[in-house]
Amino acid sequence: MNSTKKALRNTAWLFSERIITLAITFLINIFLARYLAPEQFGQYNFIVSFLALLAPFTSLGLNALVTREIVNGRSQYEVLCSSFLLRLIGGLVGATIAVVGILIWQSSIELVDPKWLIVAAVINISSALYVIEFYFQAEVASKYIVFIRVTTLIISSAAKLVGILLKADLSFFIWVFFVELIIRGVLYVSGYIYYNKHFSEVITLKHFSWNKTYAFSLLDQSKWLVLSGFMSVVYLKIDQLMIGQMVGATELGVYSVAARLSEVWYFFPLALTTSFFPKLLKARGNRESYNFQLEQLCGVLLWMAIIIAIAVSLLGGWLVPFAFGEPYAPAAPILTIHIWAGCFIFMRALLSKWLIAEGLLKFSLFTHGIAAIVNIVLNYFLIPKFGGEGAAIATLISYASASYFVLWLHPKTQIMALIMTKSVFMPATYCIRKFK
């Protein structure tokens, strides 16, 4: 099989997995939200969001670097061993910081039992094993990634359905979430051993070696990605933690439903930009063609988001209570605000690729930092007064600030801000060209 066909098949596997995951996850969340009711669903999402904040400690920005190093011919054993140990150490550091913080401030944590947060911090360490996923990406063997993800999802979804049928309490579903993370790590290790046994050689511990110099070299290369990852997670998840602490579990449960319905669409811009990124890179030698293609893709992304936002805004008042039940009806106005953040998220997918192509990774960190600060400050003032709607407003403004307005501040990024502005007029521009 030639490289093009292999890449296309690889993409098809990943696309199929994403569609399956979105469909199953969406349905399970409907059942779970209805069963738990807003208060307990809010407590559940508080723990999920807390664990997400710890994820950068175990990823350390190494994901893409692992794939690159293996593709470039570096020994897979050296890369995986060094990366795994770095991620493991990062996970231990993150867990230690989290546990100490929880013990110090546990009296102010009223939404959930602090013990659950301690368990979450410890469980997060197991995600160090996920480094193997990026080995499979380097091998263009995404069917193994798909099998592992879908198998894990089916097991956890089945367990949640059983819990609902047996009328289990909240703790059961929290444990299912934790065990799911561990199972995924175990399956990655099993898949790695199986793959090498059939296509390379039998893996033993003697194959792996820790190269201190190389490990620190990887860490040095990933430092900007680490910081960017932390900032990204903060502005994506801090709203849910702040709602839980400042307003309560019920409001968080309602907000979580709105956020999930809004974010379910975020796969599409990622798929589009990933598919067209190689074409954009080839066109980069001709600036006129390059900028034209950027305008076209940005316009498609923006108007796709606008159409989705209009449809969801019109249907949200009916969709939310129909799918999730009447107790979640207050999520409809939150959704109507939150869904418009998608306009900037869709364009952000292209911006992220463009920043990589232009070698502006430091600016990516800067934009994530701006978003995190704006989101925290606005949430602090808006949540007490407006609840979930205030958090949605903060999300919309912070995304707009980081993905559009801040681009006007730097000469190197003003061209992208201009392209985004032109995208608003894409339908009119298309009509003028069509009937000229």
pLDDT one-digit tens code per residue, 260-295 = 899 888 888 877 786 677 677 777 777 788 888 888
**Rounded to 5 degrees, what angle do the CA atoms 137, 138, 143 make?**
35
Place of tokens 């979105």: 22
> Is the same domain home to 114 and 259?
no
pLDDT at position 154 over 90: yes
Whether residues 66 and 185 share a domain: the answer is yes
pLDDT band at 4 (very low <50, low <70, confident <90, very high): low
| pLDDT grade for 228, boundaries at 50, 70 and 90 | confident
CA-based diameter of the chain, in Å? 70
Q: Round the average pLDDT of the chain to a whole number and report it.
A: 86
Q: What is the pLDDT of residue 365?
A: 82
In the prediction, which pLDDT does 41 show? 94
85-120 pLDDT per residue, tens = 889 999 999 999 999 999 988 888 888 899 999 999
Lowest average pLDDT, out of 189-193, 203-207, 240-244, goes to 203-207
258 and 195 inside one domain: no
Per-residue pLDDT band at 329 (split at 50, 70, 90):
very high
For position 66, what pLDDT does the model report?
80
What confidence tier does 430 reach under pLDDT thresholds 50, 70, 90? low
Same domain, 165 and 284: no
Last residue of one domain, picked from the residues 221, 251, 268: 221
**Confidence at residue 436, expressed as pLDDT on a 0 to 100 scale:** 55
Indicate the helix (H) or strand (E) that contains 125.
none
pLDDT band with cut points at 50, 70 and 90 for residue 6? low
| pLDDT on residue 235 | 80
Higher pLDDT, residue 212 or 315: 315
Q: Answer for the pair 423, 298: CB distance below 8 angstroms, yes or no.
A: yes
The answer to whether residue 303 sits within a structural domain is yes
Assess if residue 235 is contained within a domain: no
Which residue range(s) make up the domain with 179?
1-221
186, 221, 256 - which closes a domain: 221
Residue 236 lies in a domain: no
The candidate with the shortest Cα–Cα distance to 173, out of 31, 53, 55, is 31
Residue 244's nearest CA partner among 117, 124, 112 is: 112
63 within domain boundaries: yes
What token pair was written down for 404? Answer: 């559009």
* Domain identity same for 214 and 248: no
Instruction: Give pLDDT, residue 419.
Output: 92
**Among residues 155, 210, 160, which one has the least CA distance to residue 184?**
155
In a domain, 237, yes or no: no
On whether both 208 and 249 belong to a single domain, the answer is: no
The last residue of one of the domains, among 187, 221, 255, is 221
DSSP 138-185: HTT-HHHHHHHHHHHHHHHHHHHHHHHHTT--HHHHHHHHHHHHHHHH
- Within a domain: residue 109? yes
Say if residue 167 is in the same domain as residue 275. Answer: no
Mark whether 217 and 247 lie in a shared domain: no
Task: Residue 172: name the closest of 307, 180, 374, 332 by CA.
Answer: 180
Joined tokens for residue 160: 């949640």
Q: How many CB atoms lie within 10 A of CB 372?
A: 20
- Contacts of residue 155, defined as CB under 8 A and 6 or more positions apart, other chains included, come to 180, 183
Q: How far apart are CA 289 and CA 64, in angstroms?
A: 28
Pair 279, 211 in one domain: no
Residue 377 confidence (pLDDT) above 60: yes
Alpha-carbon gap, residue 45 to 384, rounded angstroms: 19
Quick check: 124 pLDDT over 80?
Answer: yes
Which helix (H) or strand (E) segment is 269 a member of? helix 267-283
Distance in angstroms (rounded) separating the CA atoms of residues 153 and 279: 33
Q: 166 and 253: one domain? A: no
Q: Does residue 230 belong to any structural domain of this protein?
A: no
310 is a domain residue? yes
Q: Are residues 212 and 251 in the same domain?
A: no
How many domains does the chain divide into? 2
Give pLDDT tens digits for 181-199: 999 999 999 888 888 776 5
What is the model's pTM?
Answer: 0.86
389 with 253, same domain: the answer is: yes
